[in-house]
Structure 1
Amino acid sequence: MGKFEKDAKELLEAIGGKENVAAVTHCATRMRFVLNDDDKADKDRIEKIPATKGMFTNAGQFQVIIGNDVPTFYNDFSAVSGIEGVSKEAVKSQAKSHQNPIQRLVGTLSEIFTPLLPAIIVGGLILGFRNILEGVQFGGSTIVENSQFWSGVNSFLWLPGEAIFQFLPVGIAWSVTRKMGTTQILGIVLGITLVSPQLLNAYAVNSTSAAEIAKNWTWDFGFFTMDKIGYQAQVIPAMAAGFLLAYLEKFFRKHIPEAVSMIFVPLFALLPTIVAAHAIIGPIGWKIGQGISFVVNTGLTSSLSWLFGGIFGILYAPLVITGLHHTTLAIDSQLIADFGSTNLWPLIDLSNIAQGASVLAIYFLHKKNEKEAEISVPSTISAWLGVTEPAMFGINLKYVYPFVAAMIGSGVAGMVSTIMGIRANSIGVGGLPGILAIRGTDMLKFTIPMLIAIVVPFILTMFFRQAGIFNKIDRVGSGVQDVFDTATLEGNEEIKKTTIAAGTQVAIASPLNGQVQPLSAAKDPVFGEGLMGQGVIIEPSDGTLVAPFDGVVSALFPTNHAIGLISDQGAEVLMHIGMDTVKLDGKGFTAHVKQGDTVKLGQKLIDFDIDFIKSQGLIVETPVILTNQDIYQPDTEGDIPRAVKAGDVVVTATKR
């Protein structure tokens, strides 16, 4: 009988049986299903299976979190179900066939804009700081007017701040070619041709007469002319041109002999795209973008703005769950390009704050539940810094009533924000620091809806729990349901037979050279919200992973991007190199050990190519987590964040 045979049978029945499974595979921590009918999956039953630690649906895949024993679980599942797994790419392809056109569009937008977020967020922070320098007054004059130093700083910060948004089409065109798997440097060149200094800057078009454009800003080809107009900060023209370039490149690669493809494919793909971008795509895309931003801006400035703001405030959190929230980034960018500011982004910021406030209320309601506090406290902090997935998936959606309370609080705050006419100069980091992106004249006013977004969800969460509204599993007097129960240690049998004294400590050393950060900062919510256990994440400075203690290799994923170890005292640790690196299918990873090997502290486990991983648009931050925290209590060591060397102790695990 397989180790997980009973649980695998239970899971098969809970997801609707063999006939409901269109495809299945697994990564380092999760079973990934494409189901014919997601509604047939009994989520309550799945949560009660001992081996499962949670579930969620993403990009058409129904994912069940197992942990670093997932390879064993997968084998047992295949045995009891008779279903053979397929490649991850096949599962992704099958998942897309289950998505409607809107879901596919949203997925595409997400893949285009996600790699650009770091630059956009940094640009928002910088512009927010410039808002303070230029907008906050002391004694009737601003900071830049009072200080030559801060005036110089403000002027210098234009370089990185405005440049990010001025040259946004370069990033968009690059990201499209990256997503389409075509030549990325051609995307960069295309983007540059949309924002070249030889063109009339998009920000100056409205103040330039048609006669002047016809005289000084046109290409004259004799029998026709084209306007020499740039597309700074324009989203739709850059995306449309990027897709045209990608499709032309793919077309010509199929029809041009390989011997001359390096010369003629780029030529025939790039030049027609540049012409089309300035003659057709750009002008049409600009009008479409202006139309969308006009509709949104009108809705948020009309006599019914309060209603528009309230509805959007309520619905934004559900949009995050579906992934549709990625569309708002393009709309915000277009609003800023057309009107110099956005009245939509403040509503998004308030939704982030509201989700964090509801989690904070849950913490106070359940403060005796120490295990849940390990999730709720970092989730609150994360939401108030602009990342709501840990709060929503880790706490609010599990109980439902705090999620509803946050939606209502966000709606009320959104109504107040729109009534007050609050706008943002840029897209910020979200959460409490989001005030830095607000117009200088609106910053003080924005504190009112921010306060509403904290107080209303907090009070409503308390009330809903007391009254039993939207609440089936957390009734007063019934005791808090522990939805974070995890499976017991499933590792080396000899270790399990050994009695370890309570209070025994295991020093978990850094397996990498680099920068250690709190686990809540992880980009993947499954790790960030602690569903797999507690620990830290490390941003590596080189590509060598070593053993964090003396122990045994309990699991080595076939693609070598993740490895589990059990210490001689029974502490179980999972190290997952990068996020979504499973899709590399082992490229860039070399393992120096195998499952079952005994290892010593500092022994080389895996080499990985950081540059290659990053070139594929993936991040290399590596979670180092204690997965059997029901047996060992993890505590971080030293100040975090900080630079560490392999061998420096980052976590101490104490036997309970």
Structure 2
Amino acid sequence: MSKYTEPAKQLLENIGGSDNISVVTHCATRMRFVLKEPKNANVEAIEAIGLVKGTFTQAGQFQVIIGNEVSSFYNEFIKLAGVSDTSKDEVKQAAKQNMNFLQRLISHLADIFTPLIPAIVVGGLILGFRNILGDIKLLEDGTKSIIEVSQFWAGVHSFLWLIGEAIFHFLPVGITWAVARKMGATPILGIVLGITLVSPQLLNAYSVAGADEIPVWDFGFAQVEMIGYQAQVIPAILAGLLFSWLELNLRKIVPNSISMIVVPFFSLVPTVLIAHTVLGPIGWQIGSFVSDVVYSGLSSAFGWLFAAIFGFVYAPLVITGLHHMTNAIDLQLMSELGGTNLWPMIALSNIAQGSAVLAMIFINRKNEQEKQVSIPATISCYLGVTEPAMFGINLKYGYPFLAAMIGSAIAAVISVGSNVMANSIGVGGLPGILSIQPKHMWMFALAMLVAIVIPFILTLIFAKANVGKISLKKAK
């Protein structure tokens, strides 16, 4: 009998037994359940299990935080429960039965952008490194950049743009692929669709404003402008959705004998035409409007208020899953402005949550059992993964969560007030500074310091004032 056997038995009993499990899987730190009757789960008893660091419900899934041991624990659990191994995609599909319309919309957005995040994070780091090499006068008494002095680094600077351009300029290819994959259409045709939006034949989106003449396809009775949609988010989403809808519906009515020929042709060709005549221009205008509204709000006289509110509520948004909507806004800001002032606030919120847990480590330094949760949670939080910290410690006590929200709000005001911009979405914790545009790094470092110090001090003050007294007694 392994060390996971008894905790697994306890979880199975308090989850409502095998009969209450519709499907189950796990991710890096959590067990993910879709329960037939969520109300039958005894949350208090589950959270009292030694290996369990917290629970929460999101997107129709009941999630139990285990930590880095989740894989071994999961294998023991499914053996005892008599349930089969299930993929995360199957869990998401089953979870829809417990989701309302808004939750389903957010889930769809998450499924589209989540596969793209690793590439975007890498791209942001590359852009930041290129800016340090080429845009900051670091050498010869502040008169020359590194690439002006070193041919080697000039070559590196030029070479890295190959990757940066592939990630950001050709982002619509990734989006149309992700949409097709999500909707159940043919992914390779989604890729082809994306390429038609960014083809070298087209006038680059960044050159449209200064172009003397825009090339056209001339059909005699009509002309279509040959404009590319490099880095555009909404045109790619709309095109991907139309293509997927056409393909899936054509499959239903076209005989299998000719499906291989008819379905790809009559789903892809009309989509490309409509994308360049209708969806592209409309999507571009919508995207520009969204980015203008967000940027105007953050750069206006009341930008500090917007920043304070966003910094304060971002952590609660993570609990609801609404934070996934910020990915599309960040990408649109990057397309329109060459960077985003929204994402730095997200990184600061994550840091603030980790700092509140750090204070709890100090407060409960004699509690060896809690250290097993709080120390890994702090490290994880500072590296951008907040769930173990939020659900394992901060929400359990309450006041550390509030302290982190306040610290995040103050740090966000400093960030926005200093016009801090990130090259792209990055690692949402301390390493996030590598994605910040070089000229803003010092101010972001100051905001990071605030996000570390303020939540730590406030957590100590709240604990001294006996805020959350019941929780503290329970922990002892």
Per the normalisation by structure 1, the TM-score is 0.64
Of the three residues 218, 221, 243, the one matched with 2:219 is: 221
1:382-401 per-position Cα deviation (integer Å, ceiling 9, x unaligned): 22222222322332222222
Secondary structure at 1:325 match in 2: helix
Question: For the Cα contact (< 8 Å) 1:309–1:418, is it kept in 2?
Answer: yes
1:602-622 per-position Cα deviation (integer Å, ceiling 9, x unaligned): xxxxxxxxxxxxxxxxxxxxx
Question: For the Cα contact (< 8 Å) 2:120–2:425, is it kept in 1?
Answer: yes
Query: Distance in 2 between the 1:88 and 1:48 partners?
Result: 26
Secondary structure at 1:137 match in 2: coil
Is 1:232 aligned with 2:230? yes
Return closer, same or farther for 1:203/1:6 CA change in 2, 3 Å cut-off. Answer: closer
Task: Give the aligned partner of residue 293 of structure 2.
Answer: 295
Task: Give the aligned partner of residue 255 of structure 1.
Answer: 253
Of the three residues 364, 367, 371, the one matched with 2:365 is: 367
Query: Distance in 2 between the 1:389 and 1:87 partners?
Result: 21
Task: Give the aligned partner of residue 179 of structure 1.
Answer: 182
Task: Give the aligned partner of residue 242 of structure 2.
Answer: 244
Instruction: Report the AA paired with residue 77 of structure 2.
Output: V
Query: Distance in 2 between the 1:8 and 1:318 partners?
Result: 29
Instruction: Report the AA paired with residue 33 of structure 2.
Output: R
- How far is the alpha carbon of 1:295 from its aligned partner? 0.8
- How far is the alpha carbon of 1:132 from its aligned partner? 1.4
1:106-153 per-position Cα deviation (integer Å, ceiling 9, x unaligned): 101111111111111110111111121233333222222333322222
Secondary structure at 2:471 match in 1: coil
Query: Distance in 2 between the 1:191 and 1:408 partners?
Result: 42
Secondary structure at 2:388 match in 1: helix
Higher RCO (CA-CA < 8 Å; seq separation 6+): 2
Secondary structure at 2:62 match in 1: strand
| Structure 2 counterparts to residues 414-453 of structure 1, below 5 A | 414-453=412-451
Question: For the Cα contact (< 8 Å) 1:125–1:429, is it kept in 2?
Answer: no
1:366-387 per-position Cα deviation (integer Å, ceiling 9, x unaligned): 2333343333333222222222
Instruction: Report the AA paired with residue 390 of structure 2.
Output: M
Question: For the Cα contact (< 8 Å) 1:422–1:445, is it kept in 2?
Answer: yes
Query: Distance in 2 between the 1:436 and 1:52 partners?
Result: 33
Question: For the Cα contact (< 8 Å) 2:411–2:447, is it kept in 1?
Answer: yes
Of the three residues 151, 158, 167, the one matched with 1:164 is: 167
Return closer, same or farther for 1:71/1:379 CA change in 2, 3 Å cut-off. Answer: closer
1:1-46 per-position Cα deviation (integer Å, ceiling 9, x unaligned): xx99998666549xxxx9xx7x6344479582446675x8653244
How many residues align? The count is 458
Is 1:188 aligned with 2:191? yes
Question: For the Cα contact (< 8 Å) 2:9–2:77, is it kept in 1?
Answer: no
Query: Distance in 2 between the 1:391 and 1:397 partners?
Result: 9
Query: Distance in 1 between the 2:93 and 2:440 partners?
Result: 46
Return closer, same or farther for 1:265/1:378 CA change in 2, 3 Å cut-off. Answer: same
Question: For the Cα contact (< 8 Å) 2:357–2:377, is it kept in 1?
Answer: yes
Task: Give the aligned partner of residue 550 of structure 1.
Answer: none
Return closer, same or farther for 1:115/1:92 CA change in 2, 3 Å cut-off. Answer: closer
| Structure 2 counterparts to residues 101-116 of structure 1, below 5 A | 101-116=101-116
Query: Distance in 2 between the 1:87 and 1:178 partners?
Result: 15
- How far is the alpha carbon of 1:253 from its aligned partner? 1.1
Query: Distance in 1 between the 2:137 and 2:11 partners?
Result: 64
Return closer, same or farther for 1:444/1:60 CA change in 2, 3 Å cut-off. Answer: same
- How far is the alpha carbon of 1:54 from its aligned partner? 4.5
Query: Distance in 2 between the 1:435 and 1:187 partners?
Result: 34
Of the three residues 346, 349, 360, the one matched with 2:347 is: 349
Secondary structure at 2:322 match in 1: coil
Greater Rg by CA: 1
Task: Give the aligned partner of residue 33 of structure 2.
Answer: 32
1:311-345 per-position Cα deviation (integer Å, ceiling 9, x unaligned): 11111111222222111111111111111221111
Task: Give the aligned partner of residue 68 of structure 2.
Answer: none
Return closer, same or farther for 1:225/1:27 CA change in 2, 3 Å cut-off. Answer: same
Ranges in structure 2 where 5+ consecutive residues have no aligned partner: 1-5, 66-72
1:379-428 per-position Cα deviation (integer Å, ceiling 9, x unaligned): 22222222222322332222222222111100000011111121122222
Task: Give the aligned partner of residue 122 of structure 1.
Answer: 122
Is 1:205 aligned with 2:208? yes
- How far is the alpha carbon of 1:265 from its aligned partner? 0.9
Is 1:270 aligned with 2:268? yes
Secondary structure at 1:222 match in 2: coil
Query: Distance in 1 between the 2:88 and 2:325 partners?
Result: 26
Return closer, same or farther for 1:254/1:7 CA change in 2, 3 Å cut-off. Answer: closer
**Which moved further from structure 2: 440-449 or 51-60?**
51-60
Return closer, same or farther for 1:37/1:393 CA change in 2, 3 Å cut-off. Answer: closer
Question: For the Cα contact (< 8 Å) 2:11–2:46, is it kept in 1?
Answer: no
Question: For the Cα contact (< 8 Å) 1:10–1:49, is it kept in 2?
Answer: no
- How far is the alpha carbon of 1:259 from its aligned partner? 1.2
Query: Distance in 2 between the 1:88 and 1:386 partners?
Result: 21
- How far is the alpha carbon of 1:56 from its aligned partner? 2.5
Question: For the Cα contact (< 8 Å) 1:226–1:278, is it kept in 2?
Answer: yes
Task: Give the aligned partner of residue 137 of structure 2.
Answer: 137
Query: Distance in 2 between the 1:195 and 1:403 partners?
Result: 44
Query: Distance in 1 between the 2:32 and 2:277 partners?
Result: 49
Return closer, same or farther for 1:179/1:90 CA change in 2, 3 Å cut-off. Answer: closer
Question: For the Cα contact (< 8 Å) 2:333–2:339, is it kept in 1?
Answer: yes
Identical amino acids, percent of aligned pairs = 56
Secondary structure at 1:249 match in 2: helix
Instruction: Report the AA paired with residue 242 of structure 1.
Output: G
Question: For the Cα contact (< 8 Å) 2:54–2:388, is it kept in 1?
Answer: no
| Structure 2 counterparts to residues 452-601 of structure 1, below 5 A | 452-474=450-472, 478=473, 480-481=475-476
Secondary structure at 1:472 match in 2: helix
Task: Give the aligned partner of residue 400 of structure 1.
Answer: 398
Query: Distance in 1 between the 2:118 and 2:88 partners?
Result: 27
Return closer, same or farther for 1:221/1:8 CA change in 2, 3 Å cut-off. Answer: closer
Task: Give the aligned partner of residue 69 of structure 2.
Answer: none
Query: Distance in 1 between the 2:88 and 2:114 partners?
Result: 21
Question: For the Cα contact (< 8 Å) 1:124–1:429, is it kept in 2?
Answer: no
Return closer, same or farther for 1:60/1:260 CA change in 2, 3 Å cut-off. Answer: same
Query: Distance in 2 between the 1:347 and 1:429 partners?
Result: 12
Query: Distance in 1 between the 2:428 and 2:292 partners?
Result: 24
Query: Distance in 1 between the 2:437 and 2:351 partners?
Result: 19
Query: Distance in 2 between the 1:88 and 1:415 partners?
Result: 37
Return closer, same or farther for 1:466/1:250 CA change in 2, 3 Å cut-off. Answer: same
Question: For the Cα contact (< 8 Å) 2:234–2:287, is it kept in 1?
Answer: yes
Question: For the Cα contact (< 8 Å) 2:351–2:452, is it kept in 1?
Answer: yes
- How far is the alpha carbon of 1:309 from its aligned partner? 0.5
Query: Distance in 1 between the 2:9 and 2:127 partners?
Result: 56
Instruction: Report the AA paired with residue 295 of structure 2.
Output: N
Secondary structure at 1:402 match in 2: helix
Instruction: Report the AA paired with residue 288 of structure 1.
Output: I
Secondary structure at 2:224 match in 1: strand
Query: Distance in 1 between the 2:187 and 2:262 partners?
Result: 16
Determine which structure has the larger helix proportion and give its number: 2
Is 1:70 aligned with 2:70? no
Ranges in structure 1 where 5+ consecutive residues have no aligned partner: 79-85, 482-656
Determine which structure has the larger strand proportion and give its number: 1
Query: Distance in 2 between the 1:167 and 1:302 partners?
Result: 31
Secondary structure at 1:57 match in 2: strand
RMSD of aligned C-alpha atoms?
A: 3.1
- How far is the alpha carbon of 1:255 from its aligned partner? 1.1
Secondary structure at 2:308 match in 1: helix
Question: For the Cα contact (< 8 Å) 2:170–2:231, is it kept in 1?
Answer: yes
1:38-61 per-position Cα deviation (integer Å, ceiling 9, x unaligned): 5x8653244346897753313202
Question: For the Cα contact (< 8 Å) 1:30–1:70, is it kept in 2?
Answer: no
Instruction: Report the AA paired with residue 108 of structure 2.
Output: T
